[in-house]
């Protein structure tokens, strides 16, 4: 095996993380092939001059990512079929950009409004308090893809219309120092109303994909609630779900 591993003890990057990165890269590049055994933890630790718990921490992080499998009495193996994307909070803007679709955004509305009961409940705020309401049309290659309505708690973000035109909401939140943690999503379908059909360039009654989402940051605060409409001919949701053990 041509697998060369080494760690830099002067680096500020944690040792377990350095090791995890190198193992992941080796799997990615095919140096470690699916099904191959990693060698036992004790020996690996000795070879790297690390303690066993440190090596275990590195391996565990890759097991959590679904790249490795550990079996007692057997060893640690590279998973047979590599997973494409582990799991992501999908951002329509990033998805389109990654697909080379050159997303564009038209900001239809960007104001403060009193929170309705539904919005207040989703964001965990008092009913009637002010919230940002942002309404956008997302396009790719000049064609409408989705109609997005979002509500955000006040004072969290500088919701400049120019910023909203140039990028996605998630990027805006991340660059404002908000660490996104999780989102609760509901995906369904229904027929387009007349107004919706016109906005999206569909016919009345055409099937539309619907999503409602509440996003939480790492302290558990709701930072965004949105109801979105997608043209199913132009967009579908793709993601990887992991089983909780």
Contact positions toward a second copy, by CB under 8 A?
34, 53, 64-66, 69, 77, 79-84, 86-90, 124, 180-191, 205-210, 216, 218-222, 232, 235-244
Give the one entry of DNA, a second copy, none that residue 91 binds, where binding means its C-beta sits below a cut-off of 5 to 8 angstroms depending on kind. none
Q: Reduced to 3 states, what is the DSSP secondary structure of residue 62?
A: helix
Indicate whether 20 belongs to the interface with DNA (CB under 7 A). no
Contact 3, 26 (CB under 8 A): yes
- Single out the residue of 49, 124, 205, 232 in contact with DNA (rule: CB under 7 A): 49
End-to-end CA distance of the chain: give it in Å, rounded.
Answer: 32
Closer CB to DNA, residue 181 or residue 199? 181
Indicate whether 215 belongs to the interface with DNA (CB under 7 A). no
Q: CA 200 to CA 203: how far, in whole Å?
A: 9
Task: Work out whether strand 180-191 and strand 75-78 pair parallel, antiparallel, or are unpaired.
Answer: unpaired
The nearest distance, CB 117 to a second copy, in angstroms, is 17
Q: CA 92 to CA 103: how far, in whole Å?
A: 9
The nearest distance, CB 200 to a second copy, in angstroms, is 13
Give the one entry of DNA, a second copy, none that residue 38 binds, where binding means its C-beta sits below a cut-off of 5 to 8 angstroms depending on kind. DNA
Q: Which stretch binds DNA (CB under 7 A): 26-34, 46-54, 157-165, 173-181?
A: 46-54
141: left (phi over 0), alpha (psi -120 to 50) or beta: left
Under rule CB under 7 A, how many of the chain's residues touch DNA? Answer: 26
All residues at 6 or more sequence positions from 89 whose CB lies less than 8 Å from its CB, including other chains: 170, 180, 182, 183, 215
- Single out the residue of 22, 61, 76, 150 in contact with DNA (rule: CB under 7 A): 76
Indicate whether 201 belongs to the interface with DNA (CB under 7 A). no
Distance of CA 160 to the CA centre of its chain: 23
Closer CB to a second copy, residue 198 or residue 218? 218
The nearest distance, CB 31 to DNA, in angstroms, is 18
The nearest distance, CB 116 to a second copy, in angstroms, is 19
The nearest distance, CB 46 to DNA, in angstroms, is 9
Indicate whether 42 belongs to the interface with DNA (CB under 7 A). yes
φ and ψ of 124, to 5 deg: 70, 35
Within 10 Å of residue 203's Cβ, how many Cβ atoms?
11
Nearest one of 43, 127, 35, 95 to 238, comparing CA atoms = 95
Closer CB to DNA, residue 43 or residue 238? 43
């Amino acid at each position: 095996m041509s697998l060369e591993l080494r760690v830099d003890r002067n680096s500020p990057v944690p040792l377990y993380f350095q090791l995890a990165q190198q193992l992941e890269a080796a799997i990615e590049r095919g140096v470690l092939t699916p099904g191959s055994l990693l060698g036992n933890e004790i020996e690996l630790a000795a070879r790297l001059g690390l303690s066993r718990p440190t090596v275990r921490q590195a391996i565990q992080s890759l097991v959590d990512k679904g790249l490795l499998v550990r079996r007692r009495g057997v060893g640690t193996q590279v998973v047979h079929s590599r997973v494409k994307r582990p799991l992501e909070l999908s951002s329509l803007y990033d998805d389109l950009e990654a697909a080379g679709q050159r997303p564009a955004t038209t900001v239809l509305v960007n104001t403060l409004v009193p929170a309705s009961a539904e919005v207040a409940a989703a964001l965990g705020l008092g009913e009637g308090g002010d919230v940002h309401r942002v309404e956008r049309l997302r396009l790719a290659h000049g064609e409408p893809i989705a109609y997005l309505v979002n509500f955000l708690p006040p004072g969290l973000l500088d919701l400049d219309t120019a910023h909203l035109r140039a990028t996605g909401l998630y990027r805006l939140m991340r660059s404002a120092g908000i660490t996104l943690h999780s989102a609760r999503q509901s995906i369904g379908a229904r027929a387009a109303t007349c107004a919706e059909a016109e906005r999206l360039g569909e016919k009345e009654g055409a099937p539309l994909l619907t999503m409602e989402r509440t996003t939480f940051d790492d302290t558990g605060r709701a930072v965004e609630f949105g109801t979105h409409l997608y043209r199913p001919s132009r967009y579908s949701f793709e993601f990887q779900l992991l089983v909780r053990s």
